């Protein structure tokens, strides 16, 4: 061990370290929990600190290198209850979503403003270039730095809220307007809010409230899974397969077990073989159950072989190297089309995996759904003067890339129940699914979801909880397992690659007669979400346009790629890329204006959602439904009008703009995509909430919903506060813990605001009813329903009032004592679609094929945005991820199925200093089925960017590219072919 | 973090060289590469931070200003030192902010990344490399025949006119190919990244004549050749 001393936050710090221990590890050991792991290579910047005043990634600084230096973490700012002005600025503009890298951002700002008190945007973005953010698109962090600079210069901060923009339509129809008029002016971080007359003014809902967890995030307080210390905790490491497909002939773990400090080595030879499916979905999990904790066969590079629990990570890694594994290497297949061919290797040949549709062809599911008669429509097309268009698209594999990797810690509590503290989106599903694997009853397991550092679907699995559970049971010690960045790429979850073929029949008037969609979905070696993701591709790909005849056929296919699963958008981005590209090309082929063509066919209020009920986990059989759900609210026309004005759509007709004379190698283009998504899964997604009144008139609200950084806790709190007539600060939100909070299916399917929000509203209404009764009693009013709650008081019709605190004290301590509380749960029969218009401006270098995204703008109808700041943050972050999908991110493999770009350098995600301009419009509509009119917002921004970029490239250079991503060589080859 | 077995921090060059005489020992400069993985090793790190190799000065010469930079000068310092020069832009492109404050000039030369835009910029800046054995060689020589001697500093030309053109997946992506050029007086030099095992100087009139690019998932050899020609032409047009 090496003795080291450095100045830590202004005080001497003396400790010891190993030669290879990083500064990050030593700082965390010193209690600086704001310094967080994102990758060993320092690329994420989540562990950035100030070293002698400079922002550095402490992952790549040896602790010994810091000896004699000055180290600053964000804890240095936490000298009292108040926030430092920099922290306050980030909080004020909603710049933290998950807040996983909050400390780094605050420190980077501090260092920048020290040397440049009035920084340019380029300087700000350059500073942020070292801190990867998968959530905000850097829009609000840039604004936060500007605001902090102003505050530190002594300028008074202005309120931060939406910019109200007048409507351009009557809601249903486009109205005449000057298409060349400039868009409203405002900072990019400010959402443009287009109000609806149907939406009443409210006290808390619709307001840009500060997030309920803002202080904890801004201060870097210990809030995440890894931010606890437990005596005797062991560290786990998984030995992973180097082969894409192999049988494990033998494992000899004797050398690993003999290593001092190793407490357990588990593999298929000593772990019960219990079949399961890892997808975090409602009971019963869809078949096939094709996984076990440890198998005698590996099916992708990175698959589990064994796991070690040891005193230190070094020992665990060394023990993994000492496990001798003999493999029989088998042929592998990565492409979903090849996997179906005769002679392809059979990936699940084990007899105990059942309900595989066609095992020999690796087809795990075959899905069909049809409305009308597509074959007849195609057969009669020529005779009817209709045109048939067929087009095939290929979409690729990408990763969610939460900056916080998967991490779980398990231990046996004082009653010897299993406690699993884990970064999960689905704590209740995880509890149910892990129970049989550990041979425990559900009641003997407690799953705690602390703060999550982003998930985007990657954590909608029971992914590593069984491993730490097994190890905690065997060792009877706490066990921690955290994936490293490479493991995140090869051993967590990804987006499904697909081959998508559309056939569309269009009549002479440009009306769709039929749409036929065939998808080959690549689910990798395990089913997980394979069935449901592809069904969502089907329903999204066939819902947003009306066609009397529709058919979806899908083969879900096993291959040997790293496992696809849930990823924000859940099948929609793939289908909508193909659909919006296909519709663009049809319009061009027919010589029609693309907006007009799409408008002729797109869904309107009152139209049926007629194929969705026939797809999914609870699909209705043909003839089962007497009535189909219908669209009850749509702001699509307004979205389109606002988006087209924002992007300057008219410039598409300006040759001088499209081919600038001063830059002869550049062609400019603008692309459009119409987007539609869903809001929760009807009859399936369920959320629960309980609310109780405290002595001081505040409320504790317990929810099972999981806030991944989305602002869900804030939004649910706002809903309850609105009902109860109190400010948001009086609602203390706690989520989620399977022992403490009500059940919730989890954070997915854009369900939290709609489902859990309705549960919160109803629980608050139940509490409100009792509060009114107590208030009526105190005020001597006969009619409790005449009592109105507002401003922390209950008002009688004559103006007399009693405070919430007085009601609480009376009910808890004085007379007829009772705990005023409300409990409710909600499951929806509806799935109201949010709508959106996505536009993108690009520049294409005709000599190199390089595409530069100049601007992205999206107008979204998400009903009533409960919090316009968090809602716009969702749109900004969603567009950023979608841009990566379109433009640069992709899994690359060698011939043996090994991923060759499993780190953030070669696997490119956008940095702050290269982002295009962005603009977000929130178009209000009143969705009567949602809480205070809300619909979903989190996933729809994933849907339109890829097709809009594709269509913009088409507009710029005239080439239609039907494969993602639009890398320079792909575009260049398309232009030159 | 590599599993280095020991850590040394010498206080002068002689002590450092003495330590580095043992082949198990490797120089630790900024650490952004050496410290960035967990590959097990029996290496011992020799930290160069206390050797006084972190100064940078500009010297006026008959041929114009020359920059003298210690091997331990951080890329961020280089960027701030020459805010308007080609080298500053190249340093900015090399790494994001939180790594640029760690990575050093000497470490960048030692790693010799074929995609390093900074090395390309130094190549066109008539860069010479001082090594601990007392010799001074051109950067081009050092990159093609690195040897094991310790880099202690560099000298390079600044001023004139410079140009940098790159093609990547995104604007700040590590370029698939970058072309960097500098004109000082009538002399124009051009270097390319992404077309050879290290960044290389090329003949501006025939940039693909002596290169054999590799193919990878970001770009085929054919495409890289194409970029070499296009980007070199653009650089030449700009500096001319």
pLDDT band, residue B55 (cuts 50/70/90): very high
User: Least CA distance to A890: which residue of chain B?
Assistant: B217
pLDDT in tens, A495-510: 999 999 999 999 999 9
Touching check for B68 and chain A: CB below 8 Å? Answer: no
User: How far is A274 from A252, CA to CA, in rounded Å?
Assistant: 22
Residue A8 clears pLDDT 90, i.e. is over it: yes
What is the widest separation between alpha-carbon atoms in chain B? 52
- A18-26 mean pLDDT: 96
CA of A671 vs chain B CAs: smallest distance (Å):
18
Residue B1 clears pLDDT 60, i.e. is over it: no
Q: How far apart are the first and last CA of chain B?
A: 46
Residue A668 clears pLDDT 60, i.e. is over it: yes
**Interchain CB distance below 8 Å, A67 and B9:** yes
ipTM greater than cut 0.95: yes
The CA distances from residue A833 to A540, A609, A682, in Å, are 10, 10, 12
User: How far is A89 from A86, CA to CA, in rounded Å?
Assistant: 5
User: How far is B221 from B212, CA to CA, in rounded Å?
Assistant: 8
**Interchain CB distance below 8 Å, B96 and A129:** yes
- A166-188 mean pLDDT: 84
CB A885 within 8 A of CB A875: no
Touching check for B220 and chain A: CB below 8 Å? Answer: yes
Per DSSP, helices labelled H in A567-668 are 572-590, 594-601, 636-647, 655-658
In chain B, which residues have their Cβ closer than 8 Å to the Cβ of A128?
Answer: 97
User: Least CA distance to A911: which residue of chain B?
Assistant: B172
Query: Which residue, among A698, A800, A694, A200, has the nearest Cα to A787 in the 3D structure?
Result: A800
CB A948 within 8 A of CB A671: yes
Residue A319 clears pLDDT 80, i.e. is over it: yes
Q: Which of B36, B37, B102 sits opposite A56 (nearest CB)?
A: B102
Spatial neighbors of A537 by CB under 8 A, at least 6 apart, are A498, A500, A519, A521, A554, A571, A572, A574, A575
- A315-342 mean pLDDT: 98
Give the Cα-Cα-Cα angle A89, A92, A98 (nearest 5 degrees). Answer: 95
For A718, the enclosing helix (H) or strand (E) is helix A712-724
User: How far is A796 from A788, CA to CA, in rounded Å?
Assistant: 7
**Interchain CB distance below 8 Å, B47 and A61:** no
**Interchain CB distance below 8 Å, A2 and B231:** no
CA of A240 vs chain B CAs: smallest distance (Å):
15
pLDDT in tens, A788-815: 999 999 999 999 999 999 999 999 999 9
The phi and psi torsions of A879 (rounded to 5 degrees) equal: -65, -35
Which of A 913-952 lie inside 8 A of B, CB atoms?
913-914
User: Least CA distance to B74: which residue of chain A?
Assistant: A54
Which of B 173-192 lie inside 8 A of A, CB atoms?
173-174, 176
**Interchain CB distance below 8 Å, B102 and A64:** no
Q: Is the peptide bond before A426 cis (omega within 30 degrees of 0)?
A: no
pLDDT band, residue A175 (cuts 50/70/90): low
Query: Which residue, among A665, A742, A873, has the nearest Cα to A208 in the 3D structure?
Result: A873
**Interchain CB distance below 8 Å, B36 and A61:** no
User: Least CA distance to B34: which residue of chain A?
Assistant: A60
pLDDT in tens, A334-362: 999 999 999 999 999 999 999 999 999 99
Radius of gyration of chain A (CA): 28
Residue A171 clears pLDDT 80, i.e. is over it: no
In chain A, which residues have their Cβ closer than 8 Å to the Cβ of B167?
Answer: 845, 848-850, 968
- B15-27 mean pLDDT: 96
**Interchain CB distance below 8 Å, A104 and B98:** yes
User: How far is A852 from B171, CA to CA, in rounded Å?
Assistant: 7
- A744-771 mean pLDDT: 91
Q: Which residues pair with A733 in a beta bridge?
A: A701
Which of A 477-506 lie inside 8 A of B, CB atoms?
484
**Interchain CB distance below 8 Å, B176 and A845:** no
Which of B1, B24, B78, B116 to mutate to test binding with chain A, by most A CBs within 10 Å of its CB? B1
pLDDT in tens, B185-226: 999 999 999 999 999 999 999 999 999 999 999 999 999 999
Which of A 269-328 lie inside 8 A of B, CB atoms?
314, 317-318, 321
CA of B61 vs chain A CAs: smallest distance (Å):
31
Touching check for A20 and chain B: CB below 8 Å? Answer: yes
**Interchain CB distance below 8 Å, B97 and A55:** yes
User: How far is A751 from A779, CA to CA, in rounded Å?
Assistant: 40
pLDDT in tens, A587-644: 999 999 999 999 999 999 999 998 988 887 778 888 888 888 999 999 999 999 999 9
**Interchain CB distance below 8 Å, A913 and B172:** yes
User: How far is B188 from B178, CA to CA, in rounded Å?
Assistant: 16
Task: Give the other-Cβ count within 10 Å of A624's Cβ.
Answer: 9
CB A424 within 8 A of CB A459: yes
Spatial neighbors of B233 by CB under 8 A, at least 6 apart, are none
Touching check for A123 and chain B: CB below 8 Å? Answer: no
Residue B63 clears pLDDT 80, i.e. is over it: no
For A974, the enclosing helix (H) or strand (E) is helix A968-976
User: How far is A695 from A585, CA to CA, in rounded Å?
Assistant: 64
Identify the pLDDT of residue A65: 98
Which of B 104-123 lie inside 8 A of A, CB atoms?
none
pLDDT in tens, A109-128: 999 999 999 999 999 999 99
Residue by residue, DSSP assigns A320-355 as HHT-EEEEEE------HHHHTSTTPPPS---TT---
More confident residue, A282 or A231: A231
User: How far is A42 from A903, CA to CA, in rounded Å?
Assistant: 11
Per DSSP, helices labelled H in A780-938 are 804-809, 868-887
Q: Which of A56, A850, A913 sits opposite B98 (nearest CB)?
A: A56
**Interchain CB distance below 8 Å, B38 and A484:** yes
Residue A749 clears pLDDT 80, i.e. is over it: no
Span of A266-270, A666-670, A704-708, B167-171 with lowest mean pLDDT: A704-708
Spatial neighbors of A735 by CB under 8 A, at least 6 apart, are A449, A702, A703, A704, A705, A706, A707, A712, A713, A741
Touching check for B14 and chain A: CB below 8 Å? Answer: no
Identify the pLDDT of residue A748: 78
CA of B63 vs chain A CAs: smallest distance (Å):
33
Q: How many helices (H) and strands (E) does chain B have?
A: 8, 12
Q: Which two tokens stand for residue B32?
A: 């952004």
Q: Which one-letter DSSP state was computed for residue B58? A: E
pLDDT band, residue A933 (cuts 50/70/90): very high
User: Least CA distance to A66: which residue of chain B?
Assistant: B49
pLDDT band, residue B60 (cuts 50/70/90): confident
**Interchain CB distance below 8 Å, B169 and A969:** no
User: How far is A375 from A388, CA to CA, in rounded Å?
Assistant: 12
Pairing relationship of beta strands A324-329 and A246-252 according to DSSP bridges: antiparallel
Q: Is A517 helix (H, G, I), strand (E, B) or coil?
A: strand
Task: Label residues A106-135 b or e (16+ Cβ within 10 Å = b).
Answer: bbbbbbbbeeeeebeeebbbbbbbbbbbbb
Which of A 52-81 lie inside 8 A of B, CB atoms?
54-57, 59-62, 64-65, 67
In chain A, which residues have their Cβ closer than 8 Å to the Cβ of B4?
Answer: 19-20, 62
Q: Is B183 helix (H, G, I), strand (E, B) or coil?
A: strand
In chain A, which residues have their Cβ closer than 8 Å to the Cβ of B96?
Answer: 43, 45, 129-130, 911, 913
In chain B, which residues have their Cβ closer than 8 Å to the Cβ of A55?
Answer: 97-98, 101
**Interchain CB distance below 8 Å, B223 and A969:** yes
User: Least CA distance to B226: which residue of chain A?
Assistant: A848
Residue A279 clears pLDDT 70, i.e. is over it: yes
Identify the pLDDT of residue A859: 98
Identify the pLDDT of residue A930: 94
Query: Which residue, among A449, A495, A482, has the nearest Cα to A746 in the 3D structure?
Result: A449
Identify the pLDDT of residue B196: 97
The answer for B61, left when phi > 0, alpha when psi is -120 to 50, beta otherwise, is beta
In chain B, which residues have their Cβ closer than 8 Å to the Cβ of A892?
Answer: 216-217
- A276-299 mean pLDDT: 94
**Interchain CB distance below 8 Å, A64 and B36:** no
**Interchain CB distance below 8 Å, B49 and A51:** no
- A941-948 mean pLDDT: 98
Task: Give the other-Cβ count within 10 Å of A250's Cβ.
Answer: 11
**Interchain CB distance below 8 Å, B40 and A42:** no
Span of A393-402, A500-509, A522-531, B59-68 with lowest mean pLDDT: B59-68
Q: Which of B96, B101, B227 sits opposite A911 (nearest CB)?
A: B96
Identify the pLDDT of residue A193: 97
**Interchain CB distance below 8 Å, A2 and B96:** no
CB A725 within 8 A of CB A203: yes
CB A578 within 8 A of CB A541: yes
pLDDT band, residue A666 (cuts 50/70/90): very high
Q: Is A151 helix (H, G, I), strand (E, B) or coil?
A: helix
User: Least CA distance to B97: which residue of chain A?
Assistant: A130
Q: Which of B1, B97, B167 sits opposite A850 (nearest CB)?
A: B167
**Interchain CB distance below 8 Å, B40 and A900:** no
Touching check for B10 and chain A: CB below 8 Å? Answer: no
Residue A174 clears pLDDT 80, i.e. is over it: no
CB A103 within 8 A of CB A35: yes
pLDDT in tens, A238-257: 999 999 999 999 999 999 99
Task: Give the other-Cβ count within 10 Å of A390's Cβ.
Answer: 11
């Amino acid at each position: 061990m090496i003795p080291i001393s450095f100045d830590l936050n202004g005080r001497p710090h003396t400790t010891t370290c190993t030669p290879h221990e990083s500064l990050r590890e030593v700082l965390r050991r010193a209690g600086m929990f704001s310094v967080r792991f994102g990758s060993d290579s320092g690329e994420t910047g989540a562990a950035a600190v100030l070293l002698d005043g400079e922002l550095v990634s402490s992952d790549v600084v040896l602790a010994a290198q810091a000896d004699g230096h000055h180290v600053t973490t964000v804890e240095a700012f936490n000298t009292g209850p108040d926030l430092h002005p920099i922290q306050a600025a980030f909080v004020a503009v909603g710049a933290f979503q998950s807040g996983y890298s909050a400390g780094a951002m605050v420190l980077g700002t501090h260092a920048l403003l020290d040397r440049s008190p009035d920084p340019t945007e380029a300087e700000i973005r350059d500073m942020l270039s070292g801190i990867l953010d998968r959530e905000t698109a850097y829009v609000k962090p840039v604004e936060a730095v500007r605001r902090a600079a102003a505050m530190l210069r002594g300028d008074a901060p202005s309120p931060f809220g939406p910019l109200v923009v007048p409507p351009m339509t009557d809601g249903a129809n486009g109205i005449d307007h000057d298409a060349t008029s400039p868009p409203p002016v405002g900072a990019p971080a400010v959402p443009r809010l287009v109000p609806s007359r149907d939406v009443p003014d409210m006290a808390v809902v619709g307001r840009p409230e500060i997030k309920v967890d803002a202080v904890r995030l801004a201060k870097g307080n210990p809030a995440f899974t890894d931010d606890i210390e437990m005596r005797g905790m062991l560290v786990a490491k998984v030995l992973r397969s180097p082969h894409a497909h192999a049988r494990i002939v033998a494992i000899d773990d004797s050398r690993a077990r003999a290593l001092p400090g190793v407490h357990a080595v588990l593999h298929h030879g000593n772990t019960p073989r219990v079949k399961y499916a890892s997808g975090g979905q409602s009971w019963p999990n869809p078949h096939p159950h094709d996984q076990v904790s440890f198998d005698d066969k590996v099916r992708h590079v990175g698959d589990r072989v064994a796991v070690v629990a040891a005193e230190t990570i070094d020992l665990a890694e060394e023990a993994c190297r000492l496990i001798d594994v003999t493999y029989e290497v088998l042929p592998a297949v990565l492409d979903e089309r090849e996997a179906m061919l005769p002679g392809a290797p059979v990936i699940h040949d084990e007899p105990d995996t059942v309900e595989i549709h066609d095992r020999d062809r690796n087809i795990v599911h075959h899905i069909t759904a049809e409305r009308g008669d597509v074959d007849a429509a195609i057969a009669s097309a020529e005779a009817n003067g209709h045109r048939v268009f067929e087009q095939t698209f290929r979409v690729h594999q990408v990763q969610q890339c939460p900056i916080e990797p998967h991490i779980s810690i398990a231990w046996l509590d004082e009653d010897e129940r299993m406690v699993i503290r884990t970064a999960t989106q689905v704590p209740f599903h995880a509890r149910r699914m892990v129970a049989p694997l550990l041979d425990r009853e559900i009641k003997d397991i407690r799953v705690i979801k602390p703060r999550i550092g982003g998930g985007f679907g990657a954590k909608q699995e029971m992914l590593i909880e069984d491993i730490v559970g097994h190890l905690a049971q065997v060792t009877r010690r706490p066990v921690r397992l955290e994936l490293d960045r490479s493991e995140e790429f090869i051993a967590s979850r990804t987006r499904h690659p697909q081959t998508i073929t559309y056939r569309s029949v269009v009549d002479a008037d440009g009306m769709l007669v039929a749409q036929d969609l065939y998808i080959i979905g690549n689910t990798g070696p395990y089913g997980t979400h394979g069935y449901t993701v592809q069904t969502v591709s089907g329903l999204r790909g066939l819902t947003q346009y009306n066609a009397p005849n529709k058919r979806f056929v899908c083969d879900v296919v096993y291959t040997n790629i790293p496992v696809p699963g849930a990823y924000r958008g859940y099948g929609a981005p793939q289908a909508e890329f193909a659909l919006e590209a296909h519709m663009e090309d049809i319009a061009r082929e027919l010589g029609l204006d693309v907006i007009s063509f799409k408008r002729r066919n797109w869904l309107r209020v009152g139209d049926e959602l007629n194929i969705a009920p026939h797809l999914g986990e609870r699909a209705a059989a043909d003839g089962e439904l007497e009535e189909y759900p219908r669209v009850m609210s749509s702001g699509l026309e307004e979205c389109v009008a606002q988006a087209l004005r924002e992007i300057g759509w008219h410039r598409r007709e300006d040759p001088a703009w499209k081919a600038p004379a001063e830059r002869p190698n550049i062609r400019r283009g603008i692309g459009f995509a119409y987007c539609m998504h869903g809001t929760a899964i009807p009859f399936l997604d369920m959320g629960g909430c309980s609310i109780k009144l405290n002595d001081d008139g505040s409320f504790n609200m317990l929810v099972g919903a999981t806030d991944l950084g989305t602002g869900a806790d804030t939004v649910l709190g706002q809903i309850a506060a609105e009902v109860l007539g109190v400010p948001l600060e009086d609602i203390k939100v706690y989520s989620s813990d399977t022992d403490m909070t009500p059940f919730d299916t989890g954070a997915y399917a854009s369900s939290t605001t709609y489902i859990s929000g309705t549960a919160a509203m109803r629980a608050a209404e139940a509490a409100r009813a009792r509060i009114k009764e107590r208030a009526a009693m105190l005020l001597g009013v006969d009619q409790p329903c005449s009592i109105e709650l507002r401003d922390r008081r209950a008002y009688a019709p004559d103006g007399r009032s009693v405070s919430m605190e007085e009601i609480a004290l009376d009910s808890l301590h004085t007379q007829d004592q009772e705990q005023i509380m409300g409990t409710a749960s909600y499951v929806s029969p509806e799935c109201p679609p949010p709508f959106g218009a996505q536009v993108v401006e690009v520049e294409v270098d005709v000599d190199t094929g390089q595409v530069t995204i100049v601007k992205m703008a999206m107008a979204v109808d998400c009903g009533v945005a409960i919090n316009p700041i968090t809602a716009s943050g969702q749109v900004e972050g969603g567009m950023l991820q979608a841009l990566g999908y379109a433009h640069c991110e992709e899994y690359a493999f060698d011939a043996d199925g090994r991923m060759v770009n499993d780190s953030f350098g070669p696997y490119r995600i956008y940095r702050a200093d290269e982002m295009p301009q962005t603009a977000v419009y929130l178009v209000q509509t009143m969705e009567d089925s949602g809480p205070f009119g809300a619909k979903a917002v989190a996933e729809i921004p994933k849907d339109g960017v890829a097709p809009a970029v594709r269509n913009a490239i088409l507009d710029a250079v005239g080439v239609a590219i039907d494969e993602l991503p639009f890398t320079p060589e792909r575009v260049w080859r398309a232009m030159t072919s | 973090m590599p599993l280095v077995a020991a850590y040394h921090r010498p206080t002068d060059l002689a002590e450092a060289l003495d330590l580095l005489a043992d082949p198990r020992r490797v120089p630790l400069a900024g650490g952004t590469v050496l410290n960035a993985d967990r590959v097990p090793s029996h290496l011992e790190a020799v930290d160069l931070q206390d050797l006084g190799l972190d100064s940078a000065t500009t010297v006026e010469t008959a041929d114009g200003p020359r920059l003298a930079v210690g091997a331990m000068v951080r890329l961020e310092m280089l960027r701030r030192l020459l805010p308007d020069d080609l080298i500053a832009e190249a340093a900015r492109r090399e790494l994001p902010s939180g790594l640029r404050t760690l990575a050093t000039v000497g470490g960048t030369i030692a790693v010799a990344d074929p995609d390093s835009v900074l090395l390309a910029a130094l190549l066109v800046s008539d860069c010479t490399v001082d090594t601990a054995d007392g010799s001074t060689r051109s950067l081009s020589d050092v990159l093609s025949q690195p040897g094991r001697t310790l880099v202690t500093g560099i000298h390079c030309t600044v001023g004139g006119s410079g140009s940098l053109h790159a093609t990547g997946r995104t604007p700040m992506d590590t370029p698939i190919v970058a072309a960097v050029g500098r004109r000082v007086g009538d002399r124009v030099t051009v270097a390319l990244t992404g077309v050879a095992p290290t960044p290389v100087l090329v003949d501006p009139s025939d940039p693909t004549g002596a290169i054999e690019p590799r193919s990878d998932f970001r770009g085929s050899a054919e495409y890289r050749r194409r970029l070499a020609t296009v980007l070199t032409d653009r650089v030449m047009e700009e500096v001319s």
